[in-house]
Amino acid sequence: HKYHRDGIAGVLKTLGVTPAGPAAAYHFGTLKTADDILNLALRLEQGAATAYRTLASSVHNKTVLGFAAHVMVDEVRHATVLRDAVNRRNY
């Protein structure tokens, strides 16, 4: 994920855009079990993949679109592994 963050930030910087920094704090709710953590990770990965897919049609820069497509594929792969880990179907 650091690679994704740094790559997207780098692409934006080449376009003269200053990327947003990290949030001051993150709140993930109560995580008591491994399943809680896996389900949170799955929701985050699915959300990331959906965000990249949804925004792709509004991106007109080939460099940005190419990197975003690469990241989206990774997010889908991550979600696939996590779905298997929490015994959910991948189809």
pLDDT tens digits for range 2-12: 888 898 889 88
Q: Is the pTM of this model over 0.85?
A: no
Long-range contacts of 77-86 (CB under 8 A, 24+ apart): 78/41, 78/45, 79/42, 79/45, 79/46, 79/49, 82/38, 82/41, 82/42, 82/45, 83/42, 85/38, 86/35, 86/38, 86/39, 86/42
Give the pLDDT confidence score for residue 88 in this predicted structure: 84
Tell me the pLDDT tens digit for each residue of 47-90.
999 988 888 888 888 888 888 888 999 999 999 999 999 988 77
Give the pLDDT confidence score for residue 60 in this predicted structure: 86
Q: What is the mean pLDDT of residues 40-48?
A: 93
